[in-house]
Every structure is written in C-alpha cells, then in structure tokens.
C-alpha cells in the first residue's frame, strides 16, 4: 500500500515532464529542457536515497529504510532517461560519437561512469542477487557514494559563469558524504 | 555511552524530518520553476504567437527561417541572466533610446554618434540579410538581420594604418540588466569582444539594428550589435556603445573567462574538438519545439568568403 504510494509519488516528476513535453510547454528548445530536467531530478532522487537512512536513524523511523531500494531503482530510471535524451538529441544514436564524447569530455565520462555504476547497483537489487551476494551486497552498494561524487563533479563541470545551482548540490553531497564517513569512523556515534 | 531518546522526541523528530523534506521540495520548486510559472500566465499578452507560421520563408530567396517567436524567446544574453528565457523575460525595463556609440583609439576622426547617424538611412531602407546564427553550444537559427556592412560605418571614422584590431564594448547598466547585478556570475562586465581589422572590414560583418524588421528586441542585442556569421555567436557582440581601434589584441569576455572553451577567434570549425560541446553537428531550431540535427559547416558555410583571412594551421584560429 505505502510502497505503491511511494512508486506513484516518484512517477510524478517524469509524468509532469512528459505531459509538458506532449503539450509543448517546455519552451523553444524542449530537447535541452528534457536533458536538464531529467538530470536535476536524478540528482534530487540520489540525495533522497542517501538522506533516507539519516532520517531513519535520527528520527527513529526504520520503516523509511524499506523504501530505499524502490527510490534507488527510480534513480536508475531517471538516470537512464537523462542518458537516453543525451544520446538521442545530441548524438542521434551515433555510438561512435558517444565513444568520442566519453574520451574527450570529462563531464560525459563522469556521467556515463555514474550511469554504469547505477546499472550495476540496480541489476543487483533483486532478492536473489541480494541473497547471493550476502555481506558483499552492502559493500557493493556503498558504490552509490561513488555515483554521488561523479554526479557532483559532472554538474560542477557544467558551470560556465553562474555557479549557484551546481555548487549548492555539491555542498549538499559533501555534507552527506561527511556524515556517512563519520559513521564509518565512529560506528555508534 | 548511549543516550536514550524517548518516544515523544522521536515523534517530534519525524515531524521535523518530514517538514524538512517537504521544505526542500518546495524551495527547489520555487527557485527552479517559480519564474516559468509566472511567465506562463503572461504568455497570452505576448505579441508574437508561438505558431507564427510553422514554416517561415525569407521573401527574397525562399529559404527557410526560424520563427520570430523562437528567435526572440530563446537567447543567450548573460546581461539579463544565464537562462535562455531570461533575455526576453527580464529585458522589459531596458531602455533602447537614446543610444550613442563612441569611436576612439587609432582612428583619424574619433567621435560619438547617434544610432540614426550610424544607420545613415531610415530603418526600413536597411539591407535585410539571412544569416545562420551558430551558437558555440551547438544550436543554430536562421535569422533575418536588418543592417548594413560594418565597414561602411568604420570607414567614416578613418581607422589609422596602425589599427590592427577593433574592440567592442557593450553597455553597462546593472539596474536594467539583472544578470550584470547577479552575485552568482563570474563574468566581468561590461561585455567586451573584438575582431581583427580585416574581420571587421569584411563585407559579411554586419552592423545590425534589428531582426525580423524589428528594432525593439533587447534579447537579440538591439538597439545595436555586430553580426559575424562565420564565428560562434558570442563573437557577435550586443548592445554596443563603444568601438576602439587598437594595435594590440584586445581582451574578450568569454575568452577571459575560459580560454580553452572560448577561443579568441572562435571560427566555426566542426572538425576541431571542443572541450565542452562537439561542434560536428548542430541542432537547428526552426520553431518552438521543432529542432533538427544537421551537420555543421566549416566557417558556418562561408569558407569561400573568409578562409583567406586565416592562413596556416587552423588550430590557431579556433
């Protein structure tokens, strides 16, 4: 019941975006709008996924953790949409061009690497994979912090002169990372 | 040492956590979408209709143009803000008149001229030319410009033989141009750009007083800009108030900001790798929502006319 509600809620941003696209409400260049919006919402969800355990611990709310995997899978879905828009609008599905982009442009490399890690995490999120991986599953899935680091730098590299948005996201990411590291150093703190 | 937190304070914390989550979502939405929502409500009063002819043709040649709506609602003018919609949204308070341009530096007849003097004829008599505006961000538009060759104006002030460059300075009005007042921008204002004297005197280099027969569009750089069709768009300075002839190479705003990405020459070179945007293809914007990916052309299609300006290895003219 609640799980359905979680999925429905997380489906709202892509639904609104899709509706705006279909109704031609994304402005003169909807391609660019789709790429930017899918990117920022991937980041939003990524922050949410990492904030959930903090809230669960601080507010004594372990139920929140049940939905972490659902949110995580949505992060992958959003990221896939972001990547698909880039491939389609900017590269016209020219895979040779993609290789060139990855080799020559660090922000593409970081975005692509983040997506690969997310794919690995998503594909090991089935019940069977979790059982099979055992303790290694947890270790593997701390890789989400790698995604966070890649995403932060990916966004920072977008800066041309206006820095407010990317820097804000990088600061939030850094805070989440520090909080997490402190817990590793002092596990009961 | 564990501190036990009692149930009621957990309940309070859950409430706070929930409120923080909702607050973050609200703040994000307001900051990111607040502007566009308020604009969407005003769009009805807009003078250009979104569907001003899905296909617009240039009368003289029959070639296809980008619609005026698209070309005036999707612009880069960091003076008004970094977003493509800022220039039309935030230029309402910009005063187009009176406008004067000062010519100084290495020329025999320096001075300050009114816009009408620079036009030298009624606006309606100016030449109309279609250029493909090619942004370094790899999108482009086909736009009809109203103006005259810049050389006709420059010759009046008689540049000296020692003048090797022309520097353009844009207007500085932070009170009318919110992007110039932004605390989050790293650009130095006013905007400056420059061309070599040969580039400035080239017959394709166009002193521009209007687009689509319209003089009242600050988002397109009016009342006075220079259009250089074989270079990336930022090399075509807007809102010009000063032209200075120099012997040494002048600075240019984007080049100062990041010389790797914004070369001083910035000719359109589709085959030379660019650190941020591949320049091999461009996304041609025809009308709102109609975008076509097309191959980019060397010198934006003007190789025959301008290649002689750039002898030797093209890398030095990127």
A134-147 tens-digit pLDDT? 999 999 999 999 99
- A156 three-class SS: helix
**Is A41:A15 a contact under the CB 8 Å cutoff?**
no
- A179 three-class SS: helix
Q: What Å distances lie between residue B85 and A55, A76, A96, B170, B280, CA to CA?
A: 37, 30, 33, 20, 26
Q: Which DSSP helix (H) or strand (E) runs through B275?
A: none
Query: Chain A residue closest to B22 (CA)?
Result: A48
Triad B127, B129, B133: Cα angle to 5°: 140
Q: Are strands B290-295 and B240-246 parallel, antiparallel or unpaired?
A: unpaired
Q: Structural domain boundaries of chain B?
A: 49-317
Q: Which CATH architecture has domain B49-317?
A: Alpha-Beta Complex (3.90)
Of B2, B243, B9, B227, residue with least CA distance to B127: B227
- B89 three-class SS: helix
Q: Residue A85 contacts by C-beta under 8 Å, 6 or more apart in sequence? A: A31, A34, A35, A38
* List of chain A residues whose C-beta atoms are within 8 Å of the C-beta of residue B280: 97
pLDDT confidence of A180, banded at 50, 70, 90? Answer: confident
**Is A173:A48 a contact under the CB 8 Å cutoff?**
no
Residue B74 to residue A104, Cβ atoms within 8 A: no
Interface test with B, best of A99, A161, A173, A176 (most B CBs within 10 A): A161
Six-digit token pair at B50? 């979104």
Question: How far from the centroid of its chain's Cα atoms is residue A101's Cα?
Answer: 21
pLDDT at B56: 85
Please check whether residue A163 touches B, CB under 8 A. Answer: yes
Q: Residue A106 contacts by C-beta under 8 Å, 6 or more apart in sequence? A: A157
Query: Chain A residue closest to B140 (CA)?
Result: A29
Q: Centre a 10 Å sphere on the Cβ of residue A116 and count the other Cβ atoms it contains.
A: 12
Over residues A57-72, the mean pLDDT reads 91
**Is A137:A143 a contact under the CB 8 Å cutoff?**
no
Q: Which residues pair with B109 in a beta bridge?
A: none
Rg (CA), chain B: 23
pTM of this structure: 0.90
Q: What is the ipTM of this complex?
A: 0.90
Q: Residue B254 contacts by C-beta under 8 Å, 6 or more apart in sequence? A: B187, B234, B261, B262
pLDDT at A188: 53
Q: On the CB side of B271, how many CA atoms lie within 13 Å of its CA? A: 6
**Is B221:B236 a contact under the CB 8 Å cutoff?**
yes
The one-digit pLDDT tens for each residue of chain B (318 residues) are 456 677 788 889 999 999 999 999 999 999 999 877 666 555 544 555 555 556 888 888 889 999 999 999 999 999 999 999 999 999 999 999 999 999 999 999 999 999 999 999 999 999 999 999 999 999 999 999 999 999 999 999 999 999 999 999 999 999 999 999 998 889 999 999 999 999 999 999 999 999 999 999 999 999 999 999 999 999 999 999 999 999 999 999 999 999 999 999 999 999 998 989 999 999 999 999 999 999 999 999 999 999 999 999 999 999
- Nearest CB neighbour to A29, from listed B16, B278, B291: B291
Has residue A187 got a pLDDT over 70?
no
Stretch 128-147 of chain A: residues touching chain B, C-beta under 8 Å: none
């Amino acid at each position: 019941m609640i799980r359905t509600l979680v999925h429905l809620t997380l489906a709202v941003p892509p639904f609104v975006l899709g509706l705006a696209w279909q109704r031609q409400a994304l402005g003169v260049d909807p391609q660019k709008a789709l790429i930017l919006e899918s990117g920022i919402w991937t980041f939003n969800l990524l922050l949410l996924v990492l904030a959930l355990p903090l809230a669960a611990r601080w507010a004594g709310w372990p139920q929140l953790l049940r939905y972490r995997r659902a949110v995580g899978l949505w992060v992958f879905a959003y990221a896939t949409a972001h990547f698909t828009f880039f491939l389609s609008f900017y590269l016209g599905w020219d895979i040779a061009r993609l290789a060139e982009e990855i080799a020559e442009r660090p922000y593409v490399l970081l975005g692509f690497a983040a997506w690969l890690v997310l794919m690995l995490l998503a594909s090991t999120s089935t019940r069977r994979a979790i059982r099979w991986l055992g303790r290694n599953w947890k270790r593997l899935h701390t890789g989400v912090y790698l995604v966070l680091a890649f995403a932060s730098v990916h966004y920072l590299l977008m800066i041309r002169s206006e820095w407010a948005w990317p820097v804000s996201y990088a600061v939030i990411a850094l805070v989440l990372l520090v909080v997490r590291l402190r817990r590793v150093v002092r596990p009961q703190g | 040492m564990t501190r036990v937190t009692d149930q009621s304070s957990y309940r309070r914390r859950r409430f706070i956590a929930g409120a923080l989550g909702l607050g973050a979502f609200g703040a994000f939405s307001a900051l990111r979408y607040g502007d566009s929502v308020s604009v969407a409500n005003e769009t009805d009063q807009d003078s250009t209709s979104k569907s001003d002819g899905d296909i617009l043709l240039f009368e003289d040649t029959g070639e296809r143009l980008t619609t005026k709506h698209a070309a005036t609602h999707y612009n880069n003018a960091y003076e008004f803000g970094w977003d493509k919609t800022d220039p039309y949204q935030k230029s309402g308070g910009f005063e187009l008149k009176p406008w004067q341009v000062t010519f100084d530096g290495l020329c025999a007849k320096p001075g300050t001229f009114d816009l009408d003097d620079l036009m030298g004829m009624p606006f309606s008599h100016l030449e109309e030319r279609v250029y493909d505006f090619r942004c370094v961000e790899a999108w482009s538009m086909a736009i009809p410009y109203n103006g005259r060759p810049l050389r006709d104006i420059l010759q009046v002030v008689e540049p000296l033989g020692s003048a090797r460059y022309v520097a353009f300075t844009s207007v500085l009005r932070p009170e009318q141009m919110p992007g110039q007042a932004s605390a989050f921008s790293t650009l130095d204002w006013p905007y400056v750009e420059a061309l070599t004297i040969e580039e400035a005197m080239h017959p394709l280099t166009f002193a521009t007083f209007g687009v689509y027969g319209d003089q009242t569009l600050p988002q397109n750089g009016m009342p006075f800009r220079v259009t250089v069709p074989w270079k990336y768009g930022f090399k075509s300075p807007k809102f010009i108030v000063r032209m200075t002839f120099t012997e040494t190479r002048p600075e240019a705003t984007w080049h100062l900001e990041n010389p790797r990405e914004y070369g001083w020459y910035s000719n359109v070179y589709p085959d030379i790798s660019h650190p941020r945007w591949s320049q091999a293809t461009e996304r041609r914007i025809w009308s709102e929502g109609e975008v076509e990916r097309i191959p980019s052309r060397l010198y934006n299609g003007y190789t025959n006319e301008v290649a002689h300006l750039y002898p030797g290895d093209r890398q030095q003219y990127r």
